[in-house]
Amino acid sequence: MTPASTPCNVSCQQADFSTLIYVLETQGHFTLAPPDPPWADPRPDLADDHARWLTLLELAHRRDAADPYGVFGALVGIRCCGAAISSSGGVKPAWRLTRGEMTAAEWPAIRARWLMPHLAVLRELLGAPGAAAITEATETP
């Protein structure tokens, strides 16, 4: 097969754009499908707490997505590093951020640098009654 007759080139040359032309002529514009939401979990491979992260990141995004140093950016960063959310249990269950894939040596510095400046907001978002919202992981992932 020569490069000019590869399947992609053949299909691109014979593409029927009549539907697109019709939409442009009748609507005046073409709207692409929306991308994933900006608060999409950057680590969907960590399925155990994926739904919790979607909720937490959406709440944080609605709060301060425009602030590059806000809680949303901090949460995305720690999730990329493998942080996890677990349930704290108790009478009033709340979520707890844990080190997840990070080592025990890495977690304190990351917690201090990226999470502690947002402690009040994190308490609110996580539903935690106190500083227990940002803790050491008690379980080994």
Q: 112-135, pLDDT tens digit by residue?
A: 999 999 999 998 898 844 444 444
Say if residues 95 and 85 touch (Cβ distance below 8 Å). Answer: yes
28 falls within a domain: no
Tell me if 20 is assigned to some domain.
no
The answer to the question of residue 9 being in a domain is: no
The chain-wide mean pLDDT, for the chain, equals: 78
Query: pTM above the 0.75 mark?
Result: no
**The tokens of 36 are what?**
């994933």
Q: Is residue 2 part of a domain?
A: no
In-domain check, residue 67:
yes
Tally of structural domains, the chain: 1
pLDDT digits (tens, 9 = 90+) for 26-51: 877 766 666 688 889 999 999 999 99
Tokens representing residue 30 in the block: 């073409």
Query: How far is CA 11 from each of CA 15, 18, 21, 32, 59, rounded to the nearest angstrom?
Result: 6, 15, 18, 21, 44
100 falls within a domain: yes
Range(s) of the domain holding residue 109: 47-133
Does residue 13 sit within a domain? no
Q: Is 17 within the bounds of a domain? A: no
